[in-house]
Amino acid sequence: MARRRKRGSGSFTRRADGLYVGQVSLGVRADGSRDRRSFSSKVRGDVEFWLRETTRAHDRGDEARAARLTVGAWLDDWLAMVGPTVRPTTARNYRIHVEKWIAPVIGSEHLLRLTAADVRRVPAAVVAAGKAPRTAQSVLVTLRMALAAGVRDGRLERNVADGVKAPRVPYRSVTPTTIEQAQAILAAFDEQRLGPLVTVAMGTGLRLGELLALRWADVTGGRIRVVGALRPMPRRDGAGYRLEWTEPKTARSIRTLEPGRFVLDALEAQRRWQAQHVVSEYVFTTKAGGWQDPRNVTKAFQARLRAAGLPVMRFHDLRHAYATLSLASGVPLRVVQEALGHTSIALTAAVYAHVLPQLQREAGERLDAALRAR
């Protein structure tokens, strides 16, 4: 026997073809006609959700607004709310996701009638457009956040995007760097303008933005204090970018390193160069003493690799080189994690999992040799 629904909460039926149908009466319109709404779906939970949301909105007295509110309108409201609370680049990414991918697909859907099937159409459209699965994943995260805000705001009872899975992102392993490869890269930048920067990157694992934000006041007593990063920020008029010194996103990113002698020698070489050419509080600057654009650094770095006949890599790969060389040399995983500024040791282990088996074998061999010698 079907359970009787609460009076005023609408009716719920299942048709012979398997389709679930919900109906709710919202009273009498100004012209005297009865205002009755209906919604159907193959998914029972979607219909029950629509019934609850529609009657709840009507009981709150804002049914008229709720009935008209589309996903696109809510996304516009959400962008206005979240914009002042996040970094400008983050707000810009949210807006791109909404305007380019989400709104064109489901923007015209009624917010209260949105289903998981509708949400799945969004990442599918991103992949169909030839974008990487990681892009589809990021767009889905943005939509999920916007709907979660709707739940907190009382406009939705549940987030229909919570159970939607993004396309699987293929695993991309980090290619380990050998000592010989590292030596070849450093040799290619001997006596080059980027030489000290490349050496410090290879010897510390710092991100490019962190290196370009490094000040001489942060380099004292053989230690490097990482307290900020240089990031490209969108201009207010939307035309291009500007560089801005920013604080790290997390407390873990603020850290102190004790690099090897070859790193300190590279910093000293950079100090001597600056003493002859420019005065600046920052370590790695342009010839005029200003901030270097990370994009220009990457282009110059790759151009030099080509000229030296070496495989072209991203500047960020120097960070991976530091990690893989350190782990292969026996540096504890916890030390590498702290140097990289990773939020957890699990993240470091996941990124560099391919190096760990080699270390485990070497540790086993050392333990075996020690115990056999007793």
- pLDDT value at position 1? 37
CA neighbours within 13 Å on the CB side: how many for 39? 24
More confident of the two residues 172 and 324? 324
- pLDDT value at position 112? 86
Asked whether the predicted pLDDT for residue 32 surpasses 60, the reply is no
Stated pTM of the model = 0.64
Residue 144: pLDDT band by 50, 70, 90 thresholds?
very high
Residue 269: pLDDT band by 50, 70, 90 thresholds?
very high
- pLDDT value at position 171? 61
Q: In whole numbers, what is the pLDDT of the chain averaged over residues? A: 83
CATH architecture of 179-364: Orthogonal Bundle (1.10)
Residue 7: pLDDT band by 50, 70, 90 thresholds?
very low
More confident of the two residues 153 and 274? 274
- pLDDT value at position 226? 92
Asked whether the predicted pLDDT for residue 349 surpasses 70, the reply is yes
Asked whether the predicted pLDDT for residue 338 surpasses 70, the reply is yes
Q: What mean pLDDT comes out for the span 195-208?
A: 94
SS (H, E, C) the chain: CCCCCCCCCCEEEECCCCCEEEEEEEEECCCCCEEEEEEEECCHHHHHHHHHHHHHHHHHCCHHHHHHCEHHHHHHHHHHHHHHHCCHHHHHHHHHHHHHHHHHHHCCCEHHHCCHHHHHHHHHHHHHCCCCHHHHHHHHHHHHHHHHHHHHCCCCCCCCCCCCCCCCCCCCCCCCCCHHHHHHHHHHCCCCCCHHHHHHHHHHCCCHHHHHCCEHHHEECCEEEECCEEEEEECCCCCCEEEEEECCCCHHHCEEECCCHHHHHHHHHHHHHHHHHCCCCECCECCCCCECCHHHHHHHHHHHHHHCCCCCCCCCHHHHHHHHHHHHCCCCHHHHHHHHCCCCHHHHHHHCCCCHHHHHHHHHHHHHHHHHCC
Domain 71-152 has CATH 3.90.1580: no
Q: Is 163 exposed, middle or buried (0-12, 13-18, 19+ CB in 10 A)?
A: exposed
Q: What mean pLDDT comes out for the span 223-242?
A: 76
Asked whether the predicted pLDDT for residue 137 surpasses 80, the reply is yes
- pLDDT value at position 120? 93
Asked whether the predicted pLDDT for residue 253 surpasses 90, the reply is no
Asked whether the predicted pLDDT for residue 19 surpasses 80, the reply is yes
Residue 367: pLDDT band by 50, 70, 90 thresholds?
low
Q: What mean pLDDT comes out for the span 245-258?
A: 79
User: How many percent of the chain have pLDDT more than 70?
Assistant: 81
- pLDDT value at position 368? 62
| Least confident piece of the model among 43-57, 219-233, 352-366 | 352-366
| Least confident piece of the model among 28-32, 121-125, 307-311, 315-319 | 28-32
Domain ranges of the chain: 11-68, 71-152, 179-364
More confident of the two residues 331 and 269? 269
- pLDDT value at position 2? 43
| Least confident piece of the model among 44-58, 73-87, 329-343 | 44-58
- pLDDT value at position 16? 82
What pLDDT, in 10s, does the model give residues 276-310? 988 899 999 988 888 999 999 999 999 999 999 99
Residue 271: pLDDT band by 50, 70, 90 thresholds?
very high
